[in-house]
Structure 1
Amino acid sequence: MCRWIAYTGTPVFLSRVLFEPEHSLIDQSLHSRMGVETTNGDGFGVGWYTQDTTTPAVLRDVGPAWNNRNLQEVAHHVRSGLFFGHIRASTGTAVQQTNCHPFRHGRWMWMHNGMISGFHRFRRDLVLTVDPALYPDIEGSTDSELMFFLALTFGLAEDPPGAVARMAGLIEKTGHAHDVPYPLQMTIAVADGERVWAFRYSSEGRSRSLYYSTKVDALRALHPETSFLRDISDETRLVVSEPLGALPGAWNEVPESSYGVIQPGGDALHAFRPQLHDGPLPA
């Protein structure tokens, strides 16, 4: 599987989050504690927004994150208030740049940990549901990217939670029709440049790990000696596949079958349930 991190809040150098913590994402690429694989070396990617544009920049490569000089160069010189980082462990599709996360379409950015079980058996059925206007923009061969384009097809721009729920419902319905009992395993992060949504769900009810950070003001009260907490705003939050360190009280497990939204003015956590699409599909 994979490991990922989503950061939103005070603009910081990417390296402060990707490299510096005790159990950073780079450390997890070699020493994951909660993933299916200990090593996640089948590529990496970072994506970030700046104040000058609503379209995120993306850097992706097929090599391991732990020794990539381009990643180090970018991370120590790019500052952002909303960025994603992802390290990949392939579930069967090719190790190639177009299969590395995060994926981008317009202002939207997407990354995934998990898999569609039996993907090779009903991939064609899912592909044929993608909006024909979107289909030419699919670059790779992963289930993760196809999930993104299904969500775009089902209205991600207007209703992200609903679009992801309809995407999940289609995968489960199609998988069951092909005798796959538990078709979907996912933790997903999606952003539009202002908000971040994070989803944790699996058909079996045993989803991959996912955590969110405690509010900064509460952490400052618990750990006034921690310099990083003095440098960031109360709005700063992280969502991670596994905690970046052992700071007491810093991390909270995202509940099974739920999603959260991090947004200006207040975050929210909701139950998540797949939905069947009840409107017309693209021609």
Structure 2
Amino acid sequence: MCRHMAYLGPPVAVSRLLLDPPYGLHRQSWAPRAQRHGTVNADGFGLGWYPPATGAPGATGAPGAIEARDTRPARYRRAVPLWADPNLPDLARCLYTGALLAAVRDATPGTGQDEAACAPLRAGHLLFSHNGAVADWPGLPDDLRTPLGARELLEMEARSDSALLWALLVRRLSAGESAGAALASVVRATAAVRPGARLNLLLTDGRTIAAVRWGDSLGYRLVPGPDGDGGAGTRGGRVLVASEPPDDDGDWQDVPDGSLLLATHTDVTITPLTPGTTEPAIRPTERTPTP
């Protein structure tokens, strides 16, 4: 099993999301409170973040100039327990972002043990994490893996159930499926041949979060902006989606099992997976930097 979280909102220090909360991912790496399978998440960790759209004033050399910044997501991943990385506290307190996906890992038996197997996995401007496990994932039926060609299989970032699910999802997104439809189809197809699979999936493009709860815990916290509905752009509201609450504040909302969640920093929509899915906002196109 694993634990993961995603954040959208005003830029904050990563330490406030990852290390400071009393029951955040740091604590969940060694003492999760809501984890149903496994007791510790010590097989690695990772964080992916989206840099602000602009750099520092004067960066181009001209007085008052603002340098445009590459806004593709960056990652920091290690195959050690989160608490065992001496570099993380300094990185986390100095790194600011308004969009983050992070995870701690409890590896599925038979999967790779190097840092390439640690979430978040990445394709273009998208970040992905899988909280769960798929039994005998190398033996999944051919009809489930049919969409994948030899190149896609060879380019899988790691040897793991998560990387295979990600390849299946990227294939659907690249074919034009919306994020919600792609997540739903991958979950349904996998669960049909592996009924005991745990398939909590988390996907973001830095402006929107799409997630599925299937077999383990998931919740969210939406905090409105100054005007009650998110305020002025990303400077207003904020949303946190995670495997379990990072603290004991009473505003945490549980996502029902078998549901799709779509979130921005101002709104959350939850749809049962059985009857169908709603149309999401994430598509595999280049992210446009906001001014």
Query: Shorter chain as normaliser: what TM range?
Result: 0.7 to 0.9
Q: 1:132, CA displacement in angstroms?
A: 5.0
Classify 1:265/1:244 alpha carbon distance in 2 versus 1 (closer, same or farther; 3 Å). closer
**For residue 208 of structure 1, what is the amino acid of its counterpart?**
D
Counterpart check, 1:165 vs 2:193: no
Classify 1:264/1:15 alpha carbon distance in 2 versus 1 (closer, same or farther; 3 Å). closer
In the aligned structure 2, how far is the partner of 1:44 from the partner of 1:274? 35
SS across alignment from 1:98: helix
Q: Give the match for residue 225 of structure 1.
A: none
Q: Give the match for residue 209 of structure 1.
A: 217
Percent of pairs with identical residues: 29
Q: Give the match for residue 43 of structure 1.
A: 44
Provide, for residues 194-238 of structure 1, a one-character-per-residue CA deviation record: whole Å limited to 9, x for no partner. 21111112xxxxx201110143469x9xxxxxxxxxxx9542010
Counterpart check, 1:5 vs 2:5: yes
Classify 1:70/1:128 alpha carbon distance in 2 versus 1 (closer, same or farther; 3 Å). farther
Q: 1:73, CA displacement in angstroms?
A: 2.5
In the aligned structure 1, how far is the partner of 2:265 from the partner of 2:220? 16
Check the 8 A contact 2:38/2:106 in 1, yes or no.
yes
In the aligned structure 2, how far is the partner of 1:122 from the partner of 1:158? 22
Q: Give the match for residue 197 of structure 2.
A: 184
Counterpart check, 1:108 vs 2:126: yes
Counterpart check, 1:69 vs 2:86: yes
Q: What TM-score do you get using the length of structure 2 for normalisation?
A: 0.79
In the aligned structure 2, how far is the partner of 1:236 from the partner of 1:86? 19
**For residue 154 of structure 1, what is the amino acid of its counterpart?**
R
Check the 8 A contact 2:47/2:75 in 1, yes or no.
yes
SS across alignment from 1:170: helix
Q: 1:38, CA displacement in angstroms?
A: 2.5
Q: Give the match for residue 254 of structure 1.
A: 255
Structure 2: gaps of 5 or more residues: 54-68, 229-233, 277-291
Q: What TM-score do you get using the length of structure 1 for normalisation?
A: 0.81
Classify 1:60/1:10 alpha carbon distance in 2 versus 1 (closer, same or farther; 3 Å). same
Q: Give the match for residue 228 of structure 1.
A: none
Q: 1:152, CA displacement in angstroms?
A: 1.2
Classify 1:194/1:45 alpha carbon distance in 2 versus 1 (closer, same or farther; 3 Å). same
Provide, for residues 136-158 of structure 1, a one-character-per-residue CA deviation record: whole Å limited to 9, x for no partner. 43121111111111011112664
Structure 1: gaps of 5 or more residues: 202-206, 221-231, 276-283
Q: 1:172, CA displacement in angstroms?
A: 3.3
Classify 1:120/1:274 alpha carbon distance in 2 versus 1 (closer, same or farther; 3 Å). farther
In the aligned structure 1, how far is the partner of 2:108 from the partner of 2:201? 16
| RMSD of aligned alpha carbons | 2.4
Check the 8 A contact 2:47/2:120 in 1, yes or no.
yes
Classify 1:234/1:131 alpha carbon distance in 2 versus 1 (closer, same or farther; 3 Å). farther
Check the 8 A contact 1:260/1:268 in 2, yes or no.
yes
Q: 1:71, CA displacement in angstroms?
A: 2.0
Provide, for residues 17-70 of structure 1, a one-character-per-residue CA deviation record: whole Å limited to 9, x for no partner. 101111121011111111122211000000000123342101111000012122
Check the 8 A contact 1:110/1:189 in 2, yes or no.
yes
Counterpart check, 1:59 vs 2:76: yes
Q: Give aligned pairs, total.
A: 251
In the aligned structure 1, how far is the partner of 2:107 from the partner of 2:151? 28
SS across alignment from 1:16: helix
**For residue 269 of structure 2, what is the amino acid of its counterpart?**
A
